[in-house]
């Protein structure tokens, strides 16, 4: 689950109404993991977008050659 990966190595402490303090087990490892997760999610989102666009427009759109058109 993505949320488990995203919050791995973090400790949260309530410090007041709607306020939280966060501590890292290893901040450098957390940042590295965070960047890897972002890259993975971005690639997955791009794949989903491609699937959606292919579902909407399944056939390639023919290119138009406007240079050969004659005006009347």
Q: Does residue 43 fall inside a structural domain?
A: yes
Count of domains for the chain: 1
Instruction: Say yes or no to pLDDT of 72 above 60.
Output: no
Question: In this predicted model, which residue has the larger pLDDT, 71 or 52?
Answer: 52
Measured CA to CA, the distance from residue 3 to residue 34 in angstroms comes to 11
Parent domain of 40: 2-57
Q: Does residue 67 fall inside a structural domain?
A: no
What average pLDDT does the structure give for the chain?
Answer: 87
Q: Does residue 65 fall inside a structural domain?
A: no
Contact criterion met (CB below 8 Å) for 30 and 38:
no
Q: Does residue 37 fall inside a structural domain?
A: yes
Q: Does residue 63 fall inside a structural domain?
A: no
Q: Does residue 70 fall inside a structural domain?
A: no
Predicted structure pTM score: 0.61
């Amino acid at each position: 689950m993505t949320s488990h990966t995203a919050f791995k190595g973090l400790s949260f402490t309530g410090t007041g109404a709607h306020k939280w303090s966060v501590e890292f087990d290893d901040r450098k490892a957390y940042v590295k993991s965070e960047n890897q997760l972002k890259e993975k999610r971005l690639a997955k989102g791009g794949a989903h977008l491609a699937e959606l666009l292919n579902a909407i427009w399944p056939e390639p759109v023919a290119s138009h050659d406007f240079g050969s058109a004659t005006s009347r």
